[in-house]
Amino acid sequence: MKDFDLRKLPEEFYQDPYPTYRWLRENDPVRRMPDGSLLLTRYADVSAVYRDAKHFSSDKRREFAPKFGPESPLYQHHTASMVFTDAPAHTRVRRLVLGALAAPPSETVEAAITARVDALLDAAAPHGQLDAIADFAAALPVQVIGDLFAIPAARRGPLRQWSLDILTALEPTPDAAQLAAGNQAVTGFLAFLADLIDARRRNPGDPYTDTLTRLIQGEGYDRLSETELLHNCIFILDAAHETTTNMIGNALEAMLRLPEARALLAADPEQMRPALEEFARIESSNQFGNRIATRDTRIAGTAIPAGTPITLCIGAANRDPAAFADPDRLDITRWPNKHLAFGIGVHMCAGITLARQEARIALSRFLARFPNYTLAAPPVRGGRARFRGFRSLPLALATHSHS
Ligand code: HEM
């Protein structure tokens, strides 16, 4: 543990990072990495940095220029998307994005998600098994966000791979092939969106149901510039995919070991609301966040010079015993549950309502239909540190009771 380095993660870390997180939290909570950056693992420190946008910037231009190359599509994309900008530009863009995401009435979204979930379960049922990732958790968000943006069904195919390729480039040490795939994905995505936006401008949808039309038209007198529009569309489509997929997949996997919780949730879908927060806490689909110190400051007594890059370990903070009693135990009734899975502060997840709604409907309808599901083959982990989830989770959908 003493020579732990985020840039050289051992294989066991990808399987189970929690013993490492615990060691760091207990022995070196403000850990200096060989490259001079810091890794924070305590709840109090992680949440304090998230809440303090004045001392800790989200602007990644300095960090991404050497990582991606200042002329690269990845650099252009990641430095233009709202999550990696600061006020005042961020405040303005966030307001426009929140307005567009909230445009469709919640009942409309509820009905659309439910229809998508049921169609996926209908398709799997006759086979008696499914890969809970490919056939369910990953198939759903692309349809849900595709419906919100009114993307023609036949054109949704490449969206998931583009998203994965763009997000994978954010891993601590992407290799040349991952960088090339990420750059190609940004270029492909931009061309796709330019075409889609052009068609929507010529033939607008209803700004009260169609998120893309609302993003194009803006709120009141304010609207996104062309660059803001294109890169934030990419970002929203990316952010909506992998995290939600992993949240659903991680919860289905965790419940394999929790027959009582499954029975409770299948009998009372309302219990899914607190349960969701616990699934998000204990296996956070987004394990790391990043900030840069804007000025000389201190964290937990340690002096932090201006310009220090800081990695915020959400996965470790969410299992800090100082914030959560018995933190390694999954307790679906845990409440209150002040986890940091969706971040906190001015950049807190802008899609949190949609993410919760999607995961709640997906998990409750899955359980209502297949409460006794079992593992059909060993699950395969995603193999990434920042985005924690499964690549494959083969489940047998036993419909009869085992009791
Ligand atoms: C389980 C699912 C999700 C998780 C765990 C998650 C997690 C997060 C986290 C941790 C942040 C904060 C990043 C930071 O402060 O550096 C964030 C921001 C964001 N998320 Fe999510 N997210 C999820 C789903 C979604 C969905 C479905 C959407 C879109 C519909 C979305 C859109 C966004 C956007 C636009 C931001 C940037 C907000 C800002 O910079 O102001 N997310 N998300």
| pLDDT above 80: residue 288 | yes
Instruction: Please provide the distance, in angstroms rounded to a whole number, between the alpha carbons at the two ends of the chain.
Output: 44
pTM: 0.95
| pLDDT above 60: residue 403 | no
| Token output for 266 | 């299948």
Q: What percent of the chain is predicted at pLDDT more than 70?
A: 99
**Which of 243, 247, 386 for mutating ligand 1's site (highest number of atoms within 8 Å of CB)?**
243
Contact between residue 175 and residue 253 where contact means Cβ atoms under 8 Å apart: no
Q: What would the mean pLDDT of 63-67 be, rounded to a whole number?
A: 92
Q: What would the mean pLDDT of 300-306 be, rounded to a whole number?
A: 95
Closest-CA residue, ligand 1 atom 7, reads 342
Q: Is 5 a member of any domain?
A: no
Mean pLDDT of the chain: 95
| pLDDT above 50: residue 238 | yes
| pLDDT above 70: residue 163 | yes
Q: Which residues line ligand 1 (CB under 6 A)?
A: 58, 82-83, 94, 97, 101, 236, 239-240, 243-244, 247, 285-286, 289, 341-343, 347, 349-351, 354-355
| pLDDT above 50: residue 41 | yes
Widest CA span in the chain: 62
Atom of ligand 1 nearest to the CA of 145: 30
CA 304 and chain centroid, separation = 28
Contact between residue 389 and residue 249 where contact means Cβ atoms under 8 Å apart: yes
Closest-CA residue, ligand 1 atom 30, reads 351
What does the alpha-carbon distance between residue 316 and residue 281 come to, in Å, rounded to a whole number? 10
Total domains in the chain come to 1
**Which of 160, 282, 349 for mutating ligand 1's site (highest number of atoms within 8 Å of CB)?**
349
Q: Is 141 a member of any domain?
A: yes
Count of C-beta atoms within a 10 Å radius of residue 256 = 14
What does the alpha-carbon distance between residue 104 and residue 99 come to, in Å, rounded to a whole number? 10
Q: Exposure of 395 by Cβ count < 10 A (0-12 exposed, 13-18 middle, 19+ buried)?
A: buried
Count of C-beta atoms within a 10 Å radius of residue 36 = 10
Q: Is 183 a member of any domain?
A: yes
The CATH number of the domain holding residue 216 is: 1.10.630.10
Supply the pLDDT for residue 398. 83
Closest-CA residue, ligand 1 atom 35, reads 350
Q: Is 403 a member of any domain?
A: no
Q: State which residues form the domain around 124.
A: 11-396
Least confident of 60-74, 160-174, 240-254: 160-174
Q: What would the mean pLDDT of 376-389 be, rounded to a whole number?
A: 93
| For residue 88, cis peptide bond before it (omega within 30 degrees of 0) | yes
Ligand 1 centroid–CA 355 distance in Å is: 9
| Token output for 90 | 């961020």
Task: Give residue-wise pLDDT tens across range 173-217.
Answer: 899 999 999 999 999 999 999 999 999 999 999 999 999 999 999
Task: Give residue-wise pLDDT tens across range 339-371.
Answer: 999 999 999 999 999 999 999 999 999 999 999
Ligand 1 centroid–CA 358 distance in Å is: 14
What's phi and psi for 86, nearest 5 deg? -115, 170
What does the alpha-carbon distance between residue 249 and residue 382 come to, in Å, rounded to a whole number? 11
Closest-CA residue, ligand 1 atom 19, reads 349
Supply the pLDDT for residue 167. 87
Ligand 1 centroid–CA 224 distance in Å is: 19
Ligand 1 centroid–CA 348 distance in Å is: 7
| pLDDT above 60: residue 402 | no
Q: Of residues 213 and 62, which shows the higher confidence score?
A: 213
Contact between residue 7 and residue 35 where contact means Cβ atoms under 8 Å apart: yes
Ligand 1 centroid–CA 100 distance in Å is: 15
Closest-CA residue, ligand 1 atom 34, reads 350
Ligand 1 centroid–CA 52 distance in Å is: 18
- Nearest CA to 311 among 1, 93, 24? 24
Q: What percent of the chain is predicted at pLDDT more than 90?
A: 89
Least confident of 157-166, 309-318, 337-346: 157-166
